[in-house]
Chains A and B, each alone.
Chain A
Amino acid sequence: MIHPLLTVQGMDIAFTERVCADIGFELHRGEWLGLVGESGSGKSLTCRGLIGLLPEGAQVTGQMTYGDRVFDLSNPQAPARLRGVEIAMIFQDPMSALDPLMTVEGHLKLRGRADGADLLRQVGLPDGENLLKSFPHQLSGGQCQRVALACALARHPKILIADEPTTALDVTVQAGILRKLRQLTDKQGMSVLFVTHDLGVVSEHCDRVMVMNAGRIVERGTAQDVLRAPKAGYTQNLLRAIPTPATRGRRLMSATPSEGEMSAASLRQPAEVALSLKHIRVTYQRPNGQRVNAVDGVSLSLRSGEILGLVGESGSGKSTVAKTAVGLVHADGGSVELAGRPVDWHRPQAEWRRAVQYIFQDPLGAMDPLSRILDQVRTPLDIHDIGQRRDRAVMAGKRLAEARLDPALHRKKPRMLSGGQRQRATIARALALSPKVLICDESVSALDVSVRAHILDLLMDLRAQTGVAILFISHDLSVIHHLCDRVAVMRGGRIVEEGDTAEVFATPQHDYTRALLAAIPKMPERDIGTLLQGESA
């Protein structure tokens, strides 16, 4: 076997408590090594520890060998000499990675590159000359990340550490950047340590993968081996939580036959229309005075008991459409109808509020930080004067139980809960009004995959039990495919394609839908046997 380019041995990171323990791995020339884990698993800290970029107060031990040089990781200054020249790093948030006051050219010149335009062309920015004079705020997120990549590559490092570099970007942009990065690294024989939570990306791009959980590496191997036949229980659970074509319409996290499946079948019967949006138009005045159609004549209808997916990339207007349905945004044209009757959100009526509820993306942001969970669920009962005053706490508790939130947590404040628990609480709060329509605006996007799976199961069960209609907005096609009966694809404020989910995914008609589907990182096929085996374990 060839000598590895980088070897890490026995790396521990501690603040007041130990957060990473006994991290050790080898990185070979020209390979992509994936580092996978959920939030808080310690994967970002591991990367930062390698080049001495941990926050103050971090205690590191361990050893790193780069080529024939050995570094003691407890001294952050030691690996600092490698930064930029041998090991470079790019980060998750491309917008804040660059200096807002400095041109793109300034960033590159600072790193000794006068041939900025060439470098930009290499990272897939063909219009390099013009971009050089631009400031970061004038660029899109994808362009910013490409510039950050150009900065990282400026001094021809041998290793690139990429910490969730495409997580904040749209799936088509992500696909473009990753393809470009793969070309570049193959050509120059660079190695990549690729941190991500997205197993699809690992499957498509990484040669080998390490899975991290709670500060430890729990499994490692070639990407295909690990994804096809995971050995560690944690990895098996992680994989099971990911929706795939095989899981469509089934619960992800429990072995019991899903009631959701039954309902999906019963859904073929025509039901009444619960929510319909007709020719919705929303215009925004850009700061330059130009009026732009954020939503341009969108019509949707949602029947009771149905889950309709609304999919699109950032800026497609999908969230705006959802907000017009609850009056958070006022439509400039078109109409909103609840159960066939038009509503005017300029003069909201309590009855309409009860009929349609909304789940936000970030559950922590959607809850009053000062108020206890039970009180938050009780609030809508107070507002709408539902039930006897003294019974309301009990009613709220029941709703929380339906959302499967542990009663021990009912008296806690939102900050004390995990992301998944908080989202359960906001769902319970919305359900307190027994709405006919539930709008989920990217409600599972900020959650880790295993937590997401539980929430998806919950939504599926709720639909089956209560017959609530769900408008499910997401940028994530695999989740849409998994959960939704019908799907509408939005782009530039219009719906470009709409239809039965299975049909749209099997035979997409519109070019954009095809491009979206092509950009989803593909997971290797798993046979249903592995899945069931995991469930019984």
Chain B
Amino acid sequence: MKHMPPLIRISFGAVILLAFCAVFAGVLAPYPTDELDLLNRFAPPVFIGGSADHLLGTDSLGRDLLSMVLRGIQVSLTVAVIGTIGGAILGTTLGLLSAWFEGWVEAVIGIMIDFQATIPNLILALALLTILPQANLLVFILVMTVYGWERYARLARALCLQAKGQAYVQAQQVLGASAARIVLRTILPNFMAVIVVNMSINFPSTILLETTLSFLGIGIQPPDTSLGVLIGQGREQLYNAPWTVLVPGAVILVATIAISLIGDWARDRIEME
């Protein structure tokens, strides 16, 4: 950890800052997110001549952008974190099951993976959102969890199959270890690092999916907000109040780029070992 490149240090700093904002959004926000200030509509951020009342300016209804962005960070990151972890757990479990038990378990999971591969993720998410209630945060998180599961399933399956053929696993068998002990105490710890790195590589794409769906108006629904919702609401004002798009956009960029860089860096380190 000593030889961390400066870019990675900055990225870690950014992620910590964002996490802080997500946790303490309610405390940090200067205004309630639904407080309208119709006299102060389209107030520019302070760095392009706005007043200190609204540090990041206001939107078309005079709502404080800083407060909304904080809430947006909270919602977007929470959804992405739960979705990523959920997808990783779901996928890894299925992948391990299919690798360890041959026969019908393997066949069924294999067909599921095959099937998932034929439908692009966004399209599947859209199809699910057509049949499920849309303005429901739980449903939305479920959709995010389903998204990307097959990547972990493939990865876990491949890693576990590979491990099964390897001497260190066979050695455990010869020593008398049970299947559960081998999978949970020998195989899983050995590729946990790979799974975690893949989570950090997939995390940005989960944020991307959430913000994209919210932007398109079929994700997080107003009155609640997320970074994608904010941009979707701001796009009509791209001419007269560009900050309503650029500020939440910049936050998304910082989050996804920082995590991507960390993920890439971590993967390179693992590959070197």
Contact = CB atoms under 8 A, between A and B. Distances in A.
A279 interface: no
Interface stretch (A67-75, A197-205, A243-251, A353-361): A353-361
A368 B168 contact: yes
Contacts of B173: 327-328
B174 A357 contact: yes
B166 interface: yes
A350 interface: yes
B167 A384 contact: no
B196 to A, nearest CB: 14
B190 interface: yes
Interface stretch (B113-121, B175-183, B247-255): B175-183
A369 B175 contact: no
A362 interface: yes
Given A362-B167, A365-B166, A367-B168, A429 B190 contact: no
Interface in B163-194: 166-168, 170-177, 181, 186, 189-190
B189 A360 contact: no
Nearest to B273: A415
A426 interface: yes
Interface string B29-60: 00000000000000000000000000000000
Contacts of A361: 167
A394 interface: no
A365 B168 contact: yes
Contacts, number: 53
Nearest to A363: B167
B191 to A, nearest CB: 10
Interface string B14-42: 00000000000000000000000000000
A368 B186 contact: yes
Interface string A323-344: 0001110000000000000000
A34 interface: no
B190 A368 contact: yes
B148 to A, nearest CB: 26
A370 interface: yes
A307 interface: no
A273 to B, nearest CB: 21
A514 B54 CA distance: 94
Contacts of A380: 175-176
Given A369-B190, A370-B189, A383 B175 contact: yes
Contacts of B175: 353, 357, 379-380, 383, 429, 433
Q: Which of B166, B167, B174 has the most CB of A within 10 A?
A: B174
B195 to A, nearest CB: 14
A110 interface: no
Contacts of A368: 168, 172, 186, 190
A366 interface: yes
A348 interface: yes
A360 B186 contact: no
Interface string A109-135: 000000000000000000000000000
Interface residues of B, number: 15
A357 B167 CA distance: 13
Contact of B167 (A348, A366, A383): A366
Contacts of A350: 176
Interface residues of A, number: 25
A366 B181 contact: no
B90 to A, nearest CB: 25
Contacts of A358: 171, 174
Contacts of A354: 176
Interface in A420-451: 426, 429, 433
A150 B182 CA distance: 47
Interface string B256-273: 000000000000000000
Contacts of B177: 379, 383
A429 B175 CA distance: 9
A348 B176 contact: yes
A365 B186 contact: no
Interface string A368-390: 11100000000110011000000
Interface string B69-90: 0000000000000000000000
A415 B171 CA distance: 17
Q: Which of A326, A380, A384, A426 has the most CB of B within 10 A?
A: A380
A344 B174 CA distance: 14
A353 B175 CA distance: 6
B168 A326 contact: no
Contacts of B171: 358, 360, 366-367, 426, 429
A380 B173 CA distance: 10
A368 B172 CA distance: 9
Nearest to A323: B170
Contacts of A379: 172, 175, 177
A383 B168 contact: no
Given A370-B189, A370-B190, A383-B181, A365 B167 contact: yes
Interface of A: 326-328, 348, 350, 353-354, 357-358, 360-362, 365-370, 379-380, 383-384, 426, 429, 433
Given A326-B174, A328-B170, A350-B176, 10 more contacts: A327-B174, A353-B176, A357-B174, A362-B167, A365-B167, A366-B167, A366-B171, A370-B190, A379-B172, A383-B181
26 contacts: A326-B174, A327-B174, A328-B173, A328-B174, A350-B176, A353-B175, A353-B176, A357-B174, A357-B175, A360-B170, A365-B166, A365-B168, A366-B167, A366-B168, A367-B168, A368-B168, A368-B186, A369-B168, A379-B172, A379-B177, A380-B176, A383-B175, A383-B176, A383-B177, A429-B171, A433-B175
Interface of B: 166-168, 170-177, 181, 186, 189-190
Going nearest first, the 3 A-B pairs with the smallest beta carbon separation are A353-B176, A366-B167, A365-B167
